[in-house]
């Protein structure tokens, strides 16, 4: 009896000590941040009870509403006892983005580790620098020509899929998002992974499972009690999360397996001539991302483990298809709501391609300046990644405030892009905002759809080439008209800014 009493007393002391520690830390952080404007919230709970009741769209509208409430470009919101300092003024973003010290992603990214491991998105420090240096050459601008043929092939398959859908349901509006998702998945698997999975011709659960995983991750973020691993995994949501992860990881393992089989059967093709030639621009066909990783496994003193290899592949599969797919979808949606701008795109396409039906070359795509501006304006209003976070490695002075070390800072890209002080009438679609004469005096950090600084998107040039290739293939054949308007379409930030309803588009022949 005395022994049980002793155990209970010990547990009680430990529990009380933990509570005191949490309360003290909360008090200290509150004191440090007391001069920064904050969203009204409950002590120790923050906005958790509000956010967990809102839909994805309502959360996005809720977050965007702070543009009117906090015009100084900085404010705090709390989730549980965790503060998030949101910044969106270009001058403030300019302090954080270029830093080579504050490169660690925020603590919220820890919730992605069961899915993405320590891939390029979530890693930091020496591992991140190593991986970035290793992977960087696979996305160098000089090799885009090599990818152009694959991009055109996949875009052509997409147009054929759209034609079949139109034949099946003549005159009916088509939900464009699934088509964009499948073509983007096809592209990333064949270009970065070197594996053709025929995603547009064979039904795969991968894309829907990615979305479900994103939602479960976000739901976990807004419930601080779910941050405790053992508790989360004992709940229905945690068990579902484990189940969908098994599907995602199984899919990427299959991609790696197929690539290994291909390499085994084509060894003479896979081997570089020399160690130097592998990275010299212009020599031999450059290796795909997955080839580089497998090469490292075969010859490095510190090869990647199976889990590390899968983490990098999972990261590129996720980042390389979802973000591009939503960008393609939103461009068609915006053009379908702004027919005068769409007409200018068609005029430009006619001028560059005339009556040719041959797939676009990289050189021809580079001549599409108006389409460039259309894509930029779409990414301004609908940035594929609406927010990112960083955990500060040192104190940072922003305006009149000092942000303390170890605090999470949210770099609110969607707020920066919709800031009326920088972008007059911010929700108006106007590609001419990006004419050289209209951009010359604008702070470069006012527009950061691919992040900025050392942790900018490694594949941004590739993503833009892919978007232009797919959009050009579609718009050379059809005119588009959206069913929904900007005011009525529902979208949400479940890791990326994706539609949460069908994006219905009417397609009519150009001729």
Provide the CATH number for the domain around residue 146: 1.10.630.10
What is the reported pLDDT for 147?
Answer: 84
Query: Quick check: is 37 in a domain?
Result: no
What is the reported pLDDT for 282?
Answer: 38
pLDDT band at 258 (very low <50, low <70, confident <90, very high): confident
Query: Quick check: is 124 in a domain?
Result: yes
- Among 16-30, 117-131, 230-244, 256-270, which range has the highest average pLDDT? 230-244
Query: Quick check: is 183 in a domain?
Result: yes
Q: Is the model more confident about 92 or about 282? A: 92
pLDDT average, residue stretch 231-257: 93
pLDDT at 195 over 90: no
pLDDT average, residue stretch 160-187: 94
Query: Quick check: is 412 in a domain?
Result: yes
pLDDT at 89 over 80: yes
Query: Quick check: is 493 in a domain?
Result: yes
pLDDT average, residue stretch 228-251: 93
Query: Quick check: is 126 in a domain?
Result: yes
Per the structure, how many domains does the chain have?
Answer: 1
Radius of gyration of the chain from its Cα atoms, rounded to whole angstroms: 24
What is the reported pLDDT for 434?
Answer: 97
pLDDT at 494 over 90: no
What is the reported pLDDT for 196?
Answer: 86
pLDDT at 95 over 90: yes
Contacts of 338 (CB under 8 A, 6+ apart): 429
Q: What mean pLDDT value characterizes the chain? A: 88
Cα torsion for 118, 123, 129, 132, to the nearest 10°?
60
Q: Per-residue pLDDT tens for 417-463? A: 999 999 999 999 999 999 999 999 999 999 999 999 999 998 899 99
Q: Per-residue pLDDT tens for 340-398? A: 999 999 999 999 998 888 999 999 999 999 999 999 999 999 999 999 999 999 999 99
Helix 306-337 and helix 460-475, axial crossing angle in degrees, nearest 10: 40
Query: Quick check: is 262 in a domain?
Result: yes
Contacts of 207 (CB under 8 A, 6+ apart): 178, 181, 182, 185, 199, 321, 322
What is the reported pLDDT for 1?
Answer: 53
Q: Per-residue pLDDT tens for 102-148? A: 999 998 899 999 999 998 899 988 888 888 887 877 776 666 677 88
Q: Distance between CA 278 and CA 369 in Å, rounded?
A: 33
Q: What percent of the chain has pLDDT over 90?
A: 59
Contacts of 231 (CB under 8 A, 6+ apart): 225, 238
* Segments of 88-242 assigned E as strands: 174-175
pLDDT average, residue stretch 56-77: 94
What are the CA-CA distances from residue 261 to residues 154, 157, 506 (Å)?
23, 26, 43
Q: Is the model more confident about 161 or about 49? A: 161
What is the reported pLDDT for 497?
Answer: 95
The SS3 of residue 162 is helix
Quote the domain boundaries for residue 252. 43-509
Query: Quick check: is 33 in a domain?
Result: no
Closest by CA to 28, choosing from 81, 88, 67, is 81
What is the reported pLDDT for 277?
Answer: 42
Provide the whole-model pTM.
0.90
């Amino acid at each position: 009896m005395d022994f049980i009493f002793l155990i209970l007393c010990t547990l009680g002391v430990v529990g009380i000590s933990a509570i005191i520690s949490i309360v003290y830390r909360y008090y200290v952080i509150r004191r440090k941040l007391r001069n920064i404007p904050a969203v009204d919230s409950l002590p120790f709970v923050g906005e958790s009870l509000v956010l967990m009741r809102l839909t994805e769209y309502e959360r996005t509208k809720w977050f965007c509403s702070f543009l009117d409430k906090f015009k100084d470009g900085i404010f705090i919101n709390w989730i549980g006892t965790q503060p998030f300092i949101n910044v969106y003024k270009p001058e403030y973003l300019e302090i954080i983005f270029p830093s080579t010290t504050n490169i660690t992603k925020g603590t919220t990214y820890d919730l992605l580790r069961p899915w993405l491991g320590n891939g390029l998105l979530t890693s930091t420090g020496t591992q991140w620098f190593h991986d970035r240096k290793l992977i960087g050459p696979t996305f160098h601008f000089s090799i885009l020509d090599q990818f152009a043929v694959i991009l055109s092939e996949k875009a052509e398959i997409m147009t054929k899929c759209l034609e079949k859908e139109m034949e099946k349901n003549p005159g009916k509006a088509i939900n464009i998002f699934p088509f964009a998702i499948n073509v983007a998945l096809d592209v990333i698997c064949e270009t970065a992974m070197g594996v053709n999975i025929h995603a547009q011709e064979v039904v795969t659960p991968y894309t829907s499972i990615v979305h479900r995983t994103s939602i479960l991750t976000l739901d976990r973020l807004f419930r601080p009690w779910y941050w405790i691993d053992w508790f989360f995994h004992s709940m229905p949501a945690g068990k579902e999360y484990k189940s969908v992860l098994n599907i995602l990881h199984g899919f990427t393992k299959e991609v790696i397996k197929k690539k290994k089989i291909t390499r085994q059967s084509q060894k003479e093709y896979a081997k570089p001539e020399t160690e130097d030639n592998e990275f010299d621009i212009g020599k031999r066909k450059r290796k795909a991302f997955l080839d580089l990783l497998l090469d490292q496994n075969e010859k490095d003193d510190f090869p990647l483990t199976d889990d590390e290899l899968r983490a990098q592949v999972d990261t590129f599969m996720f980042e390389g298809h979802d973000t591009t797919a939503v960008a393609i979808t939103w461009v068609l949606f915006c053009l379908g709501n702004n027919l005068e701008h769409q007409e200018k795109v068609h005029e430009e396409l006619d001028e560059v391609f005339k009556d040719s039906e041959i797939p676009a070359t990289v050189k021809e795509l580079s001549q599409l300046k108006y389409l460039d501006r259309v894509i930029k304006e779409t990414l301004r209003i609908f940035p594929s990644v609406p927010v990112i976070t960083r955990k500060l490695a040192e104190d940072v002075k922003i305006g009149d405030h000092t942000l303390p070390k170890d605090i999470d800072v949210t770099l609110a890209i969607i707020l920066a892009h919709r800031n009326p002080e920088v972008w007059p009438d911010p929700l108006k679609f106007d590609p001419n905002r990006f004419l050289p004469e209209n951009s010359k005096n604008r702070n470069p950090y006012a527009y950061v759809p691919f992040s900025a600084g050392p942790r900018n998107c490694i594949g941004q040039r590739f993503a833009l080439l892919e978007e232009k290739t797919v959009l050009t293939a579609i718009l050379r054949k059809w005119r588009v008209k959206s069913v929904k308007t900007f005011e009525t379409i529902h979208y949400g930030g479940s890791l990326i800014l994706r539609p949460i309803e069908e994006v219905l588009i009417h397609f009519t022949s150009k001729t």
